[in-house]
Amino acid sequence: MIFSRALSRLCLVVPLIGLCLTAVPSAYALTFKAAHGHGDGMDDVRQRVIEVMAKTLAQSRSGLAIKIYPRGKLFELEDLWTGLTGGTLEIANLPLARLRALDPVFAAPTLPGLAQSVDEAYGLAATPMMAAVRGALAQRGMRVLADIWLPGALVFSGRSCLADPPALAGRTVAAGGRLLGDLAVGQGARASALDEGRGRALLRALPDLVAVLPEVDVLTTLSPAPPACVLLAEGAGAWFDYQPVIVSEAALARLTPAQRAALDEAAAAAELYGRRAQDKGPQARGAILEKRGLTWAVPTAAEAEAWAALGKPLLSTLVGRGTSAATAPPDRPLPGTVPPATPGSSFLRGLGP
């Protein structure tokens, strides 16, 4: 510290001296590791959201920096939660439904019928349901920095999509803990684990497989080879995958008030970017799929209503009977009555069936 102060005074007198470089303040900068379970390509909004957070934070000159680690660079997808809770990772983007083995409420945001657009999904932030989700994270020493809501999709082998719920009877559904998978099993489908790193191989090995996952994963993690049909989540039965950017409270405790304010500001900018980046209609999203040689479809109004109807009983259980997620009284606690995980729904090592 004494040397640093002396060097600073010297730099004021002799600004051209070779020692007077930015390396001195950067030696005291705090760097948080931020990891996610996806690639680092420009077609993945989750990578770009964290990039926006890192760049905004760098511009703040707060002495806090973020270094991004995509899948496999430091952590695999199944290791992110362990990294957060063990103190080896400060920030992570997590598919929260796959943590339902820890708390069933983590799957609640994936219920069909909660929102019909990206804007409506982000608008769920103030609802009792999301307060319960954040509370469950807080009990485990975690805080949400930024919401990321991803439009959902069903992926089928072949060129035909099955949008009517009863049509999934006898099919194998891999849902990664998402509640649409539970509803499909209730219609006669079989539950199966989805190893998202082997998505294409699974589609080839199981021609009756239906993958339930965020639409962005169709182009990144799953990467199905044609022919494949992608059913976009639209209408009354639309569903979204909640994959927030999370920071550990232990990491936050290391920050100065100015650094915490800078991190919150960077997170808000990143969330806004992610929200706007996904504000596209089905035609624009379908055109992207067509460029990959994939077929796509949207459910009819009747088919979308059928999915919403299946979710309504569970929705009433989640947010209070006879009330919607958007209007449930804020003082009503959320019952922890989400169904237990279906086989293979947990991505944590050693957790879940």
How many domains does the chain fold into?
1
Residue 170, φ and ψ in degrees, nearest 5: 85, -10
The series of mean pLDDT values per 10 residues for the chain, 353 residues long, is: 42 40 47 92 90 96 95 84 96 94 93 94 93 96 98 92 96 93 95 66 75 91 85 96 98 97 98 92 93 95 96 70 36 34 33 28
| Structure confidence at residue 133 (pLDDT) | 95
Residue the block writes with tokens 């035609």: 283
Q: Does residue 7 lie in a domain region?
A: no
- Mark residue 170 as left, alpha or beta (left: phi above 0; alpha: psi -120 to 50; beta: remaining): left
Q: Does residue 348 lie in a domain region?
A: no
Q: Does residue 144 lie in a domain region?
A: yes
- How far apart CA 121 and CA 325 sit, in angstroms, is 11
Question: What amino acid occupies position 22?
Answer: T
Rg of the chain (C-alpha set): 22
CATH at 155: 3.40.190.170
Q: Does residue 296 lie in a domain region?
A: yes
- How far apart CA 55 and CA 137 sit, in angstroms, is 26
Q: Does residue 214 lie in a domain region?
A: yes
Closest CA to 341 of 133, 104, 171: 104
| Cβ proximity of 214 and 196 under 8 Å | no
Q: Does residue 32 lie in a domain region?
A: yes
Q: Does residue 340 lie in a domain region?
A: no
Closest CA to 52 of 34, 38, 37, 74: 34
| Structure confidence at residue 197 (pLDDT) | 55
pTM for the full predicted model: 0.82
CA distance readout (Å), 71 to 34, 50, 96, 116, 258 = 11, 13, 16, 30, 30
| Structure confidence at residue 279 (pLDDT) | 83
| Structure confidence at residue 198 (pLDDT) | 59
Closest CA to 126 of 313, 327, 280: 327
Q: Does residue 331 lie in a domain region?
A: no
Q: For the chain, report the end-to-end CA distance as a whole number of angstroms.
A: 53
Range of the domain at 189: 26-319
Burial of 212 (0-12, 13-18, 19+ CB in 10 A): buried
